[in-house]
Every structure is written in C-alpha cells, then in structure tokens.
Structure 1
C-alpha cells in the first residue's frame, strides 16, 4: 500500500462534498471509503447541516463514518450522539427575541436536536430551502413558544452575511451567555453557542482516535470552514470556494461540481 501521511479526513457538505444539485456519487464514495478504511483512516463529515439531514445524506454509511453536525453542536459516532452543545432555554428565547426586534427582516429557523422550527409566514423560497435541510421542520407562529424540552443547538438566519459580526457583538455586549455567528454564503448566518465550531468538534474526534491535527486533511469552501482548515495539517479549499478561504488554505481542490474531494482523495490512495 502507498504511504499516506494523514489519518483522518474532514469534509464540508454544501459547496464541497456535494455538487450544486446537492448530490454526490455514492458508488464512487463507497470505493474511496473502503480504501480509506483499509488504511485505517477515519472519515468525518463536518457540516453546518443538522443531524437529521446528514443521517439521510449518508444513509448506509453511518456505521463507517463520524459526523460533526450543526457546525460542531452535535457529534455522532456509529449513528449515536456522543456530544452536544446547546443554548440554555433562557438564552435561546432571548436570542430569538433579539433578532426579531433588532433584525426584523431576518427569517429564522431554530434547530433543535429532535426537530426544527420556522414561522409559517416565512417566504416560500426560505421555507422550501429549510424543509430540505430540516426534514422534521415544524411551523410555529411564535418561535418564542418553543417548548423548553426542545434543546436549541443553532439558529439559521436568512439575511446578509455582512451582519454576522455586528449581530454577535451587540448580543454579547449585553448577555453573559455569548453567541458565535458564522456564515457559509452571502445570504445566511448560523448562530451557535460561543466556542462551538467545526474545529472544536473535530478536536474531540482527533483526541479520541489519538490523531494529531497535522495528520488531518480537511476540505471546505465557506467561512464556517475557517477554523477547521486552520486546524488541519492538509487544508484544501475548493476551486469554487470563497476567496478568503482559498487564500487561507494550503492547497486547492477541483470544484464541488467536479467531485473535487473524491478526486484529491483518489490521488492519495492510488
């Protein structure tokens, strides 16, 4: 077998592992995953997508991969939750009120461990997009009435990504439980508990598998991949990625529409 110097692979989904039609080549991935496992290399999906969506995306592979979902809020191993980071209920409701009061044009999806919530008055385009990512999405007229038993891991906002820094500062200046805002595109913001990101989730798995960060190869395209790529010894930005991420990464992979992740991994495995 060829000598491969990385021991774990981390991949983002949207704009990275999947093409613009939100698909990937399952047969080709099966072949690559089999070879990775022959080399005792761990495959970790590291995505802003919720657990419920990723379970559908990788149905049939879940007992052979690890998952960092909701940008690091939930970790799955063998299809079981091994770690979760959630807002306290008080902060989740306060955060929803804050966004509704100060950013009223921002549409909100509240992601929980078991289900997600959206206002039925959301635009058809936003609802269509959210129903894809959140198969168990519940429509609720007043999001501040989410039951306390539903632990909120993340808010997804439909608004300009340029507001992320301002929103984070304003909320954190007046609240002891702080938030972290990031984005994967131009018209969305993900809001998580402070300190939660993909890199933190990956560090958990690296410690568990006794793997050093320099033995990690990671692929991403958006700003919510920044910490993950900074962590990895082998960092790849997709050719279609954000220019800031391309400058940050050590290497460039072909675009997501050309199965860039699989191409790079195949080149190492040959």
Structure 2
C-alpha cells in the first residue's frame, strides 16, 4: 500500500462509489472487506449507493442482498432503482438510438471490431453473440438477451452502449458523437462509450438522492476513476479520484484515494468512520 489515506469528513451521511476501476479490484471483484463496512454503514444510518454504467439488475444482484433497500445509480444515471422499484428512468429518444446503431454498423462494416448493447430499464439486448464479445458484456449486464436483430427491439431504451475492442476514443467515439439528435455521450472506460438522453449523468442522480434524503454536499463522499464519473464529483465536498484514475478525474477531484488495487474506497470510508486502517 503506497498511497496515503486522504482527508475525510467528520460527518458523512452518503457514500457514492463508481464500481469498475474504483470499488472493484483489478479482477473486477468486490473486495471482501466491503461487506462488514456495509454492515457498519447501515448501523450508523449512512447511505451507500453504487453509481455505475452497469444496469440496475447487475448492481442489485451484486450488492442488494447485503443492503436492504439499496438505492443504485445505474446506466450512468439513466436509471435510479431501489430493490425492484424504479425511482427514476430517463428514456432515450428512439430515433437517436436508431441513428447510433446505424453508425455503429457502418463502423463495423468498415472493419472496426465493436459491439452494441441496447439498454432498457429492466434488461439489455445484443445481437453479437460470439464468446469474445459476450465476455465483455456479461459482467455489466446481468439481465441480457441475445436477439437476431437489434433494429427489431421494441422495448423502451435508456442507453446505447458501444464496446470497441481496440479502444473507444480514437475512432468510434468521434463517429458516435457526430450522430445527430439530442443526446448525452460519455466515455465510460477504455473500451466503452454510452449514449443517453440529454442532461443525464451520475450527478443528476446523486443530487436527487441528496434532495430526497436532505443530505448536503458536505455530508457526501464520492469516489470515481473515469470520465463518466466527472460530473458527479461536483456533487460532493468530499470528492475522491482513485490514484490510478484518468488524468481529468485526478484534476477535478478534491482528494486522491488509494487505487482500487489498494482497496482505496473501503479504506477511505473506514477512516471517515474512525475505524482502523486495514492496510
């Protein structure tokens, strides 16, 4: 453990953490030290909320059993859910989704190795069914369905996710961003890009939780590592970039926490609770 623990608040009531690259370790596993911490947060009446590009079903499957009434910020803020109840859903315009899918197919036809996930509030859809692609999809989309043709999907959508095996930023991101229509586009990882309704991001969802529970930014800790976390850093006086975060996140956050490989989220929250460092 090389990164020292950062300053922490005296009065914390809400802890919001991204998942991949932040809370999860390098193998994308939940650290075992999280479970007793969640128990302690519950005893103290402190709300824990995962905020992720993952779907609500995935987050509830991973964490819901440990936190009764867990509120999850899913699909990069497009869905806020508690147990089986959707507290907030921001639909994506169908014409935008169709145009993004068409552009992705053009890129694929030109040789770009990519796949598309259409995301609804309750589940997702893919048409690319090779094991190579599904291995990338399954950790994020627990409720996922393989279909013959994505253009035939008639479900309400909240997001279109695009995965580029060669990296999303050089070719695919500019091409998708140039698609017309009202939309929000975020790069959510080295290989992933998400298209959502305009004005949708994790920050809107965090503020909704704060307003609903009468929690202030001074009582909020937020942890993130990548560009889809940028907006929500502004919702908390106690914003933390992981030590291995994207440079823009490191520049925007007020503090730097140990990396996800150093169990930075758990250790920093334990420090705020006055608990000993587990190293």
Match of 1:142 in 2: 149
Distance 1:264 1:112, change over 3 A: same
Once the 2 structures are TM-superposed, how far is the Cα of residue 164 of structure 1 from its aligned partner? Answer: 6.8
Supply the distance in 1 between the matched residues of 2:117 and 2:193 (Cα, whole angstroms). Answer: 11
CA deviation vs aligned residue, 1:42-63 (integer Å, no higher than 9, x gap): 1111111111211211141242
Distance 1:115 1:65, change over 3 A: closer
Distance 1:233 1:79, change over 3 A: farther
Distance 1:168 1:180, change over 3 A: farther
Tell me how many residue pairs correspond in the alignment: 261
Distance 1:64 1:169, change over 3 A: closer
Supply the distance in 2 between the matched residues of 1:198 and 1:145 (Cα, whole angstroms). Answer: 29
1:71-90 pair list within 5 angstroms: 71-90=76-95
Q: Paired residue for 2:118, among 91, 105, 110?
A: 110
Distance 1:213 1:164, change over 3 A: farther
Match of 1:230 in 2: 234
Distance 1:91 1:200, change over 3 A: same
- Confirm whether residue 124 of structure 1 aligns to residue 131 of structure 2: yes
Once the 2 structures are TM-superposed, how far is the Cα of residue 131 of structure 1 from its aligned partner? Answer: 2.3
Match of 2:268 in 1: 264
Q: Paired residue for 1:45, among 39, 46, 50?
A: 50
Match of 1:254 in 2: 258
Distance 1:132 1:38, change over 3 A: closer
Once the 2 structures are TM-superposed, how far is the Cα of residue 103 of structure 1 from its aligned partner? Answer: 6.2
Whether the 8 Å CA contact 2:78–2:158 is kept in 1: the answer is yes
1:110-259 pair list within 5 angstroms: 110-120=118-128, 124-146=131-153, 148=154, 150-159=155-164, 160-162=167-169, 163=171, 166-167=174-175, 169-172=177-180, 175=181, 178-259=182-263
Q: TM-score, normalised by structure 1?
A: 0.88
Once the 2 structures are TM-superposed, how far is the Cα of residue 9 of structure 1 from its aligned partner? Answer: 0.7
Q: Paired residue for 1:29, among 25, 29, 34?
A: 34
Once the 2 structures are TM-superposed, how far is the Cα of residue 78 of structure 1 from its aligned partner? Answer: 4.2
Once the 2 structures are TM-superposed, how far is the Cα of residue 79 of structure 1 from its aligned partner? Answer: 4.2
Match of 1:6 in 2: 12
CA RMSD between the two structures: 2.2
Q: TM-score, normalised by structure 2?
A: 0.85
Whether the 8 Å CA contact 1:63–1:79 is kept in 2: the answer is no
Long gaps (5+) in structure 1: none
More helix by share: 1
Supply the distance in 1 between the matched residues of 2:76 and 2:12 (Cα, whole angstroms). Answer: 22
Once the 2 structures are TM-superposed, how far is the Cα of residue 100 of structure 1 from its aligned partner? Answer: 2.0
- Range moving further from structure 2, 158-167 or 107-116: 158-167
Supply the distance in 2 between the matched residues of 1:39 and 1:217 (Cα, whole angstroms). Answer: 15
